[in-house]
Amino acid sequence: MKKRGKFMKGKEGLSPVITTVLLIALTIVIIGVIFLWFRGMIEEGVVKFGKNIQLVCDEVDFSASYSTGTLNIVNNGNVPLFIVDIKYSRGGSFATKSIKEFDAGANWPEGGLSQGGTFSGSIGSEIGDSDKITILPVLIGSSDAGQKTFVCGGQYGKEINT
């Protein structure tokens, strides 16, 4: 065989069957990557009372007060509070903890704070010197994967003075 440039005369490339299989495999991989990427961008729907749980947050109504280490919460609305998160700030930094992480967590009602329910418990001195305390309601709803909690955003929280 005579050489012509870098290639040898009479030498063939990949067979058309192998090329077709490689192109199909590459297409399937690209479609799989795009599918997983889009799937990660879509949130799973959580439902409570037959509607999206984010809409139920508008119906949450509670009051909260804090005095000398004791937190008092009254559920004034029709939506049960599964639990509450406590966001507290001190010197420009903040932390958020579930009420179950404080001493008061042992006193929190097992099924949540139902309509008209009241709660009073010690949350200790850890947040006593905070600049600001915000109580964020946490609801529980149904999804395809079972029951799931949902924290209502900051606009639904109650800011209380220390």
Q: Mean pLDDT over residues 123-149, rounded?
A: 81
Q: Give the pairing type, strands 132-143 and 158-160.
A: antiparallel
Residues 117 and 84 both lie in one domain: yes
Q: Mean pLDDT over residues 95-115, rounded?
A: 81
Residues 38 and 54 both lie in one domain: no
Closest CA to 63 of 50, 75, 45, 79: 75
Computed over every residue of the chain, the mean pLDDT equals 81
Q: Token match 């305390």: residue?
A: 133
Residues 87 and 67 both lie in one domain: yes
d(CA 15, CA 75): 73
pLDDT over 90 at 65, yes or no? no
Residues 89 and 127 both lie in one domain: yes
Cβ(90)–Cβ(131) below 8 Å = yes
Residues 140 and 81 both lie in one domain: yes
pLDDT over 80 at 109, yes or no? yes
Give a yes or no: residue 76 inside a domain: yes
Least confident of 25-29, 71-75, 78-82, 123-127: 123-127
Residues 108 and 30 both lie in one domain: no
The pair of structure tokens assigned to 75 is 């559920």
Helix and strand numbers, DSSP H then E, in the chain: 2, 12
The tally of domains found in the chain comes to 2
Full-prediction pTM beyond 0.85?
A: no
